[in-house]
Chains A and B, each alone.
Chain A
Amino acid sequence: MTEQQRTNKSARRAKALRRLVPHIILWIGIAIIVFPIYFIFSASSHTSAEIQAAPMPLGIGPHLIENYKQALFQGTQNMGTPVLIMLKNSLIMALGISVGKIVVSLMAAFAIVFFKFPLRNFCFWAIFITLMLPVEVRIMPTYKVISDLGMLNTYAGLILPMIVSATAVFLFRQFFMSIPREIAEASQIDGATPMQFFRHILAPMTRTPIAAMFVIQFIYGWNQYLWPLLITTKPEFYTLLIGINRMISGADVQIEWQIAMATTLLAMLPPVIVVVLMQKQFISGMTETEK
């Protein structure tokens, strides 16, 4: 082998190695994300005794189906609400918030863009200011409003305070402003009422932004924690996240980790499915609305 050939060979090897670097780094990134989730999946396949004995076995045990069955239909001993009921509550809350936000915001954006009325600017700014009042900073008084209205432990109480979204109004407003006004004018000339224009022309045109908003707001709704923690005291209104918190509070020895971890995985599933299935709408929605 000549000197020339040898340097060629090592150069080629260095190049191949360099091409591998991004793959290695990305796999490390994926490992950082996946391993913690693998641990809880593994835990959900063991018995309570195996986990309490620490360290738990890291493989997948034989109790997977049994644990998920118990979680879904019975719950744990210190939290007797089955996951099925909490799944239903979380779903109602997430759908209520996401669909509610979209409907209410579409209507408001339609009014603000397509009509001229004296309080238009006022309405716009009122909605804008809600950005500055997240639930974390108005905990007690909002709780009091809900309790005065008799909405503690109700779906309305879980959903209504969450259905204002400045982000959604801005997105729809932006989209509506890009639509040529001749379309609105033409529909008027053809004798359609504004509401007919909204329902049959505008809403179908807005399909893509609506889908993007739905993904983001569904996840937002599903992952609400502080608000349900405040206003649900009856187990039949617990959402999944509240249920998980209840399952693992209390003395360590009494915690049925395998059921709590099965519940945690089940709680992750619906929003993850929505993101994976609607990844494209989700990314465009995120980067266009929030920026």
Chain B
Amino acid sequence: MAKQYEFKAPVLPYILVLPQMIVVFLFFFWPAAQAIFQSFYLQDPFGGRMIFVGLKNYSSLLTDPDYWQSFTVSVAFAICITVSAMAISLFLAIQANKKIRFGSFYKTMLVWPYAVSTLVAGVIWLFMFNPNVGVIAYVLKHTFHVNWQYLLNFNQAFTLLTLAASWKQLAYNFVFFLAGLQSVPATLIEAAEIDGAGSFKRFWRIVFPLLSPTTFYLLVMNLVYGFFETFPIVHQITAGAPGKSTSILVYKVWRDGVINLDLGSSAAQSVILMIMVIVMTVFQFRFIERRVNY
């Protein structure tokens, strides 16, 4: 690479990065360090007494069946959301990518829900399925004679959470799948058509492999979403009920810290979550060529 022109100023660049660095250290690094520090201590929530307990917070977490239950349900939740949201979005994106009339109308109609927040998605589905006032709940109970009480039935609660969370994610996936499909050269598909490949075969043999970077990227993003960003939906719809069975990891870390004031355990859970995010980020950057090539 040719030598790039660079400004020469001893102080100015520091002033420019200063605001960013202050926020990074104050609100990211310092709290992260605090979480690690605190995870080795047991703190009395009312006094400020700290007792060093070594790895005890971790060992009691890892031997706690509640924690493993929370872990299992989080993984299952993330996988269910990823599979359903991605399958439906891909299917819709394939249709929208065809040369049809009203194409841009369809695209707009399927893209705008990106703006709907996770909490609002939770509220909307909660309202439809509320056992007392929900319209769908009414149909389930009176037409299909389902005993619809999602706060008492794990399968119902889990299904409702998955529906709400996947619904919210449709638009996001749609945008990326459509962009991916649009970058598949039309000449390739025409060539296959001339060679007599049917539309199903054309998709699996040509389009799908070319789409794999998009698919892989979305796979990671959807898992991250299902795992870390669905807090509002759980908080709003089930609050972990029935029992603690739908209390996913990010909900549990909030609940143990804010409601139960068990700071040591909450900190240990934070550290474990941090490790998971780091692993996922590294994985994502190793396998997807990102533009970070410093």
Interface residues of A (CB under 8 A from B): 19, 21-23, 25-26, 29-30, 32-34, 36-37, 39-40, 43, 51-52, 54-56, 58, 104-105, 107-108, 110-112, 114-117, 119-121, 123-134, 136-145, 160-161, 163-164, 169-170, 174, 181-182, 184-185, 188, 194-195, 197, 219, 222-223, 225-226, 229-230, 241, 244-245, 248, 252, 257, 260-261, 264, 267-268, 271-272, 274-276, 279, 282-283, 286-287, 290-291
Contact = CB atoms under 8 A, between A and B. Distances in A.
A124 B293 CA distance: 11
B170 interface: yes
Contacts of B9: 115, 194
A160 B26 CA distance: 10
Given A25-B91, A290-B217, 6 more contacts: A33-B171, A111-B16, A115-B6, A128-B292, A134-B228, A279-B108
B119 A223 contact: yes
Contacts of A245: 119, 123, 235-236
Contacts of B176: 286-287, 291
B117 A241 contact: yes
Give the top 3 A-B pairs by smallest Cβ distance, nearest first.
A223-B117, A141-B31, A271-B115
A25 B133 contact: no
Interface in B239-272: 250, 253-254, 257-258, 263, 266-267, 270
Given A130-B28, A132-B277, A139 B117 contact: no
B204 interface: no
A133 B6 contact: no
A144 B12 contact: no
A43 to B, nearest CB: 7
B187 interface: no
Nearest to A123: B17
10 contacts: A26-B96, A36-B124, A37-B124, A55-B139, A112-B17, A121-B294, A136-B250, A137-B250, A137-B273, A138-B274
Contacts of B71: none
Nearest to B253: A139
A54 B250 CA distance: 34
By DSSP majority rule, is chain B's interface helix, strand, loop, or mixed? helix
Given A128-B292, A244-B119, A272-B112, A52 B132 contact: yes
Nearest to A105: B20
A174 B133 contact: no
Contacts of B175: 283, 286-287
A272 B115 contact: yes
A248 B123 contact: yes
Contact of A140 (B35, B118, B126, B288): B35
A271 B270 contact: no
A39 B31 contact: no
Given A133-B32, A182-B5, A188-B7, A39 B258 contact: no
B62 interface: no
A138 B116 CA distance: 25
Nearest to B281: A132
Contacts of A181: 4-5
Contacts of B115: 219, 268, 271-272, 274-275
Interface of B: 4-10, 12-14, 16-17, 19-21, 23-32, 34-35, 38, 88, 91-92, 95-96, 98, 100, 102, 106, 108-120, 123-128, 130, 132-135, 138-139, 167, 170-171, 175-176, 179, 214, 217, 221, 228-229, 231-232, 235-236, 250, 253-254, 257-258, 263, 266-267, 270, 273-274, 277-278, 281, 288, 290-292, 294
B31, B221, B232, B288, most chain A CB atoms within 10 A: B31
A33 B113 contact: yes
B126 A248 contact: yes
Contacts of B102: 23
A125 to B, nearest CB: 8
A279 B113 CA distance: 12
Contact of A120 (B13, B98, B111): B13
Contact of A26 (B8, B28, B92): B92
Most B-side CB within 10 Å, residue of A139, A188, A260, A274? A139
A16 to B, nearest CB: 13
Contacts of A248: 123, 126, 236
Contact of A33 (B10, B28, B128, B170): B170
Contacts of A56: 133, 135
Contacts of B281: 131-132
A134 B277 contact: yes
Given A137-B253, A286-B175, A264 B111 contact: no
B253 A164 contact: no
Contacts of A268: 115-117, 120
A195 B6 CA distance: 13
A136 B34 contact: no
A138 B35 contact: yes
Nearest to A220: B117
B37 to A, nearest CB: 9
Given A23-B100, A267-B120, A274-B115, A138 B12 contact: no
A91 to B, nearest CB: 14
A262 to B, nearest CB: 12
A70 B134 CA distance: 22
Contacts of A25: 91-92, 95
